[in-house]
Structure 1
Amino acid sequence: MLERIIFSLLFLLRLSLLVRGSALTTAISANERLCFYADVDKAGEKIGFYFAVQSGGSFDIDFDIKDPNDKILLDGQRERQGDYVLTANTVGEYAFCFENDMSTLTEKLIDFDIMVESEPRREAPAKPGQIASRLVP
């Protein structure tokens, strides 16, 4: 249990140092709920979430994603894997939780990835033969 707490704290530390993506593997014991968190700095950022159950039981897990207001954005039961992209409409901390309460004895091993990224607006490229100009204040 202490190992999981330390792991979660290290994960949050990485996020606070502006690491915008992370690929992780975690074990979830029987009857356990384990959550990971990602901060969104501005509305409109994209959140990528991927997971795959690597071992344990029927290779399935329950999950949910909640926004900073504790509203469930996405959930699934007995899923083997998932790959989702969401738009963050609210600034703050998003929760990504796995729950292994359907299992009474079996630990599950899960690979997952949470990414938060800004999508900078790009200028349209100049047409062939035209010179791009920029306004200087």
Structure 2
Amino acid sequence: MRLAAALGASLLLAACASATALTTLLNANGRACYYADVDGVGEKIGFYFAVQSGGQFEIDFVVMDPNDKVILEGEKERQGDFIFTGKTLGEYSFCFANEASNTDKLIDFDIMVESEPRRVLSGSAAPLKEHTSALEESTYKLSGLLSSITRTQKYFHTRHHRNYSTVQSTKSRMFWFTVLECVAIVGMSLLQIWILKTFFSRGGRWVTRWYRRC
């Protein structure tokens, strides 16, 4: 029974956080906003984004509170990972702007809202806390480790996309450079043939004229 109660407490603690992991394609010269509700003063809000493809992997962003006060903003940022405290109840906005670019951008981002204080169970909370404190600490440690692993996976995912884009760009440049080189070689060959043909044609005419005069 104690183990079941402890597991129930850990589930309640896990329910304190809500997160949204999304991928969006932002069109050229476009703007997109996403929203998260904060229903308690002092809640921690996490915001992560990374540009996966498009142009120079740069994007403008701005985060505002329910009173339209700017909390975070940046221009031509490739990625960001922020945590701040929500001091106002209501709807927070997270906006991306691609207005200065002519290419589409693929963006991965997370919005997390987490209550800072831990929930306390009613009734048998005091005796239950003695048996669940160690489990709570282990749960939070595991949650932190999982978050770290998730961030690392996202980092490598972003690097993979960017490196792949660089490889594709280099491949395209090499292809067109090779095509231009082939065209130049063929052009030089044709030019040499024309020069040699013209030279011998004029030389033959000069020899014929000299023979007739003699």
Please provide the CA RMSD for this pair: 1.9
* TM-score normalized with structure 1 length: 0.73
Q: Compare CA radii of gyration and give the structure with the larger one.
A: 2
Instruction: Describe the shift of the 1:86–1:92 C-alpha distance in structure 2 as closer, same or farther (beyond 3 A).
Output: same
With over 3 angstroms needed to count, the CA separation of the structure-2 counterparts of 1:19 and 1:42, relative to structure 1, is closer
What is the CA-CA distance between 1:117 and the residue it aligns to? 0.5
The higher-RCO structure (CA 8 Å, 6+ apart) is 1
Per the alignment, residue 112 of structure 1 pairs with: 109
Runs (4+) off by over 6 Å: none
CA drift of 1:22 comes to 1.1
Match of residue 55, structure 2, among 49, 54, 57: 57
Structure 2, gaps ≥5 residues long: 1-15, 121-129, 131-214
CA offset at residue 122 of structure 1?
A: 8.2
Question: 2:64 is matched with which residue: 63, 66, 71?
Answer: 66
One-letter identity of the residue aligned with 1:118: S
**Which runs of structure 2 are paired with 1:116-131 in the superposition (5 Å)?**
116-121=113-118
| Residue of structure 2 equivalent to 1:86 | 84
Aligned length: 106
Q: Deviations over 1:23-48 (max 9, x none)?
A: 11000001111000000001100000
Letter in 2 for 1:108: K
> Secondary structure at 1:63's aligned position in 2?
strand
Q: Which has the higher helix share?
A: 2
Identity %: 65
Correspondent of 1:47 among 22, 45, 48: 45
Aligned-partner SS, 2:87:
coil
TM-score calculated relative to the size of structure 2: 0.47
Match of 1:77 among 63, 75, 78: 75
C-alpha distance in 1 between matches for 2:97 and 2:17? 25
Residue 20 of structure 1 deviates from its aligned partner by 1.4
CA shift, 1:19, in A, is 7.8
Cα contact 2:17–2:113 (8 A) shared by 1: no
Give the structure 2 partner of residue 27 of structure 1.
25
**What's the counterpart of residue 7 of structure 1?**
none
